[in-house]
Every structure is written in structure tokens, then in C-alpha cells.
Structure 1
Amino acid sequence: MKAAVLEAWGKPLKIRSVPDPVLGTGEVLVDMAATNLPSYAAEVFSGKRKYALMLPAIPGAGGVGRVRAIGPDATRLAIGDWVYCDCTVRSRDDALSPDITLQGVSARGDGGLKLQRYFHDGSLAEQMRIPTENAVRIGPIDERDAARWCALGAALVPYGGFLAADLRPGETVLVSGATGNFGSSAVAVALAMGAACVVTAGRNERILSDLARRFGSRIRPVKLTGDDLEDRSQMMQAAGGPIDCVLDILPPSVPASVARTAFMAVRPYGRAVLMGGIGMLGGEDLMLPYPWIMRNCVTIHGQWMYPTTAPPRLAAMARAGVFDLGQYEIAEFDLDRVNEAVAHAAANGGPFKMTAVRLGK
């Protein structure tokens, strides 16, 4: 099969022929149709983000395709089914604290690296081998819409955060980092889950206005000034009442004070979820005040990725139209133009923008 291979950090992806993956027990082979490239893909491939990925590797964080072959443990999947290939692979021998690898992307800890040695290659290839449970049925689709269904990947991350926060219909949400790609998806997901209103905090006034245009009066934009007390006051005023849940999904480049300001706008007995990159590139840690957390009975939940139930639930929401995949603007490239696609993704990131690579023979 044909694939894009990252042979060394800082080198362009090389398109070449590689052996077809071989099906094992508890696995599924998928003929890939499309995959999404995040805006920071160039930073990953250059080595700047220092992701734990053993090279050479076929990168790529999941995607959409059709089942080619199934193992004996598959009871619902059928050859030809359209599936979303979830890149979050978990070890199966410790249900309480599984090791995790993001197939074709990175890994967490020694156990995750061990898992990566087997589930090594990602989605920038004509075929992909994934664990059975990672093949999420999405129902019949037009092949031309495969790239659009890759938008599930951007939305699954904040969806996992809201599931961790036990977000309920009618609650008020604050998204810290709402003007980014994951943050804007968080806004759409919160509304799809029934949030009464979403306070959108960010510095880009144009994007804040666009979010309000897209989603209407349930959006309460707050343009950050950099003054912590002023910004927190504006967030609480915009909410028009208690803020039940705060989701932080800021990138590593943003100061910790911005996240701290948003977190401390949550109501007593409220919940806050950490999903962003604060501190990953050095600098100040979050440093939330112990007395404030304790006396206000605030629940803080760290969440990396999402639970196994999230992909099928979000796919069902998209199928029903509750979560609207039509919000995403997609630029598509063939696999032979993958390096052009990486450059395009870097130059054209932002809310509801996707760069997709079309795959298949």
C-alpha cells in the first residue's frame, strides 16, 4: 500500500510503498478514505512538540474509512461498514488505569510506548490496523463526505472534557480558549449537549463575533484584556448567573494566568476541567489557591482525550444533526500532496477549519 512516512524529525513526509498491515486477533483492518491534519502537525513532524513517537512511522491521528477485514471478536462490525478510526488506544490488561498511546501521534509513559510498538502506524496510509473497539460505526455515508466526518476528531477532545464534568442540559459553561480550533469545537459541543449558554473567552474579537453569529444568543463573548480581575468580572457578568462548568483548552503558548482567571470564575460547588497545554513548554504552573478550592468545594478534573464511550455517542449526535458537521470548512489534498497539506494546515488553522488528506487507491 501507499503511505506517508516520517523518517526523521524535521524531514518532509516521504510517500512510498510499505507492506500492507496484517490482521491480528482483536483487530480490524480499515481501507482509509480520509484523515485530518491539525494546524500544529508541522510542529509535531519537526520535533518541536517533542511527541513520543518512535521513527520511522506513518503518522496521522485516526480518520474515516471502510472495514476491510475483522477478527473473531467482532460481533456487530461487518466488512464494508463506514467507521471512524479512533486513535486513542488503551491497554486491555488494566481497566482501572490503562496505558494509552495515540496511534500514529504520541504515547503516555513507558506503558504507552510499549503499546505504541505494536499499534505504531497512523492514518496517513491506504490501510490502517486498529483495535476492534476503536472502529466506531458511523452508518452509511457518501464517500465524498468522508473528510467532513473527520471533524469528529476535533470535537471528541472537548466532548471528553464535558463528559468528565458531567455537563447537564441547562447549565452555563465557560470555555477558556474558545477562539482556537479545539476551543471553538468545545463551544459547538457544549451547545449540542444542551448548555443554556456558553461564555466564550478569548483575545480575537473577530472570532468571538463569528461564534456569536454562528450560534446566536446562547453565546456570551468576552474579549480578554489581560487584567485578571477585570476579565473575571466580565466573564461572570456575561454569564448572567452562576457558571457551572469551566473547560480550559488553551494552547501551551498562553500564560497560566489566563487559565487561572477563567477557572476562578466558576461558582461554588462548580466544576473545572483541565484539557489544554499550559506548562507543557515551560513557564509558570497553574497555581490555583488551595483555600479557594477547598472553601468553595470546587471540583477540578484533569482529562486527557476521552472515554471509550465518547466516539459512538458523538457520532450518533452528528448522525442526528444535533452536532453539526456542516460548520466545518474543509480543504482537501490527495496523499501525494501531503507535505503541501501540512503547510496549508499550519497557515490556515482556526475555528471550524480543517485540512484533510484523501486516501485510498
Structure 2
Amino acid sequence: MGGVSVGARLRTMWLMFFMAGIGISVWAITVPYSKIKFDLSDGTLGLVLFAGGIGGLVGMPFAGMAIGRWGSRAVLIAVSTGVGVLLPFLVSAHSSVVFTALLFVYGTLFGALDIAINAQGAVVERMSGRLQMSGFHACYSLGSLAVAVASFLLLRLGVSYAGCALMNASAILLILTQSGFLVAHEADARAVGPRMALPNRATIVLGLCCFACFMTEGAATDWSTVFLRFSRAMPLASATLGYAAFAVATAGARLLGDRVAMWLGQAAVMRMGCAVAVAGFGLVIFVPFGWVGILGFGLVGLGTGNIAPLVLSAAARVPGMAANHSVPAVVGLGYAGFLVGPVVIGGVANGLGLGFALGLDAVLLGATFFAAEAVAG
């Protein structure tokens, strides 16, 4: 495939990130279905979901080692195939124990997919000679949105959850037929390094930035509707608009993110993003009107939408460390933020109020403002 154009590789990467968005969104839709199916309490469901997150953390370092040996394309194809094959089994699990075990495996595969797809994306970005990562992640967001809309329509038409999962799995495997346009191992040789390596200072700084960003995403996912419903007394249907505003603004920011970063500089975009997100949290916390809270969560999504792509792009070019070690380290810290952040917010909210807890997230984003130079190209 040496004659493949950069344009073809870019289009393929857009499809691959769209595919990853399908994979994570189907998981999210399967969770409430399984809660009802197995009659799980909220506490038990939290433990079940934790298995998937732990699986993701387990899969990441092994993905880095596998990329060093076989290349990001081979790992991406292998784990994506596993994700597509496993999806229907998640829905058809006959007990909560089996579902938890499958969710752990699914999380492991998806954690490895996250590493491989970002490593491959960094290679294609470098080949293109300009920033591309925000656009890639926009496709990820669009894939998630497409599954949410398609699943809603299919379920309304009477299609079963198993049928939806089978169709989404087929979409994943169909997209994988284009994997021949991905960059081969010889071309991403820069990612090859020692089998194991401890993260250096630059990698840790980027990882902490990713932690703050992913924690914000987890907070918006888990707590925005709860905050608007119980702290701002909004009807449940209206309260869900907080997360909708966050998700749509995130996707919109990413669609324009690469062009803006090329124009203003990556560090400047990250600083602006942190400032906008902190301002959004300020509206959410201090203005006691629900519609202002919806606007605030939208600003949080607009501000943080490009932080993770900028951080992951920078992780692939950390001086003195191979990308197959730096990228898993950064994404691993980010996953930790997504996992423990919402739990910490819940614990703090129990004693000091949800507004105060969300303020801690805003403080972390404020600190990230001062680490923006870490993403400068």
C-alpha cells in the first residue's frame, strides 16, 4: 500500500474514529438495558461498570507493547475485530456475572483500541504535515451521536436490543474492510522502542492534563442531568439537555479545532479552552437558573472539546520517549480521571453539595491552563 495517498489515509482514519465512537456508544446503550434485564441496583451497576473501566486500564500498557512489536495498524485491526464480535454477546449474556466478565473483556479491548487508534492517528497526522487529531476525535463524537439516534429510531420501530447490537457490530466490521489504507508497521517505525519504559516528566504533565479533561467528561456524563434536576429543579426531560449541550458543543469544537489550532497555536487554543470551560462551570454553579446551567455545560464542552486531542497529539511526540509508551501512559491517566473523577465528585457532593464538587473540576481545569505549553508543537 505504499502508493496510498495521504488523503486516502485521512479518510480512513475518519472512518476508524467513527467506528470507535460506535463501539463506546453501544456500550453506553447496553448498560441501562442490562440494568433492567438483571434487576441491578445502582450500587451493583456501578461495580459492574467499574469492571469495564479496569479492563480498559489493563489493556492499555499491553497495547503499547504490542504496537512496538507489530505496529498500530495490526493492533487496531485485531482489537477492533474483537470489539465488533463481542458486542452481540454483551446483549445476550444470561447472567450479571457473565455480563460483568464480558464487560471486562470488552473494556480491555476498547482500552487497547483507544491506544492503537490514537497512535495510528498520530502517524497519519505527521504524514499530512498539519494538525488532524481534533478532526479525528470529532468523528468519534459523530459516531457516538449516530448510534444514539439510530438506536432510538430502531427501538421505536420495534427492533430488539440484540438486533441493534448486531447491526452496530456489522457496521464496525464493515468499516474495518477499509483498514488496508492504514499506515503499515514500517511507516510508523518511530513508535518502536523498549518493551517497557517509565513515563518522563513531560509525559506525566500531559497525563495530568488528560486526567482533568477526562474527569470533566465523566462529570458531565454522570452528573449534569442530576445537577439540573435536583439542584435547579428542572423537569427530567429538560435536565437531560445539559449533557446534550455538552456533547454537541464538544463535537462542534472538534470539527473546527485543527484549523483554529493551526491559526492561533496549540497552547493558545488549550488556554482558551480551559478559560471557556471554567467560565461555563461558573455559570453552572453560581447562576441559579436551569437554562443558564444548560448554557454553562455547553460552554464546558466547547472549552474542553479540543484539550484531549491536543494532549494526545503531543503525547505521540514527547522528546526522549517512544510513542508506544507515552501515548498509553497519557491515555491511562486520562482513563483514571474518567473512572475516579465522577466517584470523587459524588463523595464530595454528599457532604458539601454538588455545586462545590463540580467546582473542584473547574479548579483542575484552571490548573491545566498553566500547563498549556506542554502541547506546543
| Greater helix fraction, Structure 1 or Structure 2 | 2
**Which one scores higher on RCO, CA 8 angstroms, separation ≥ 6?**
2
| Greater strand fraction, Structure 1 or Structure 2 | 1
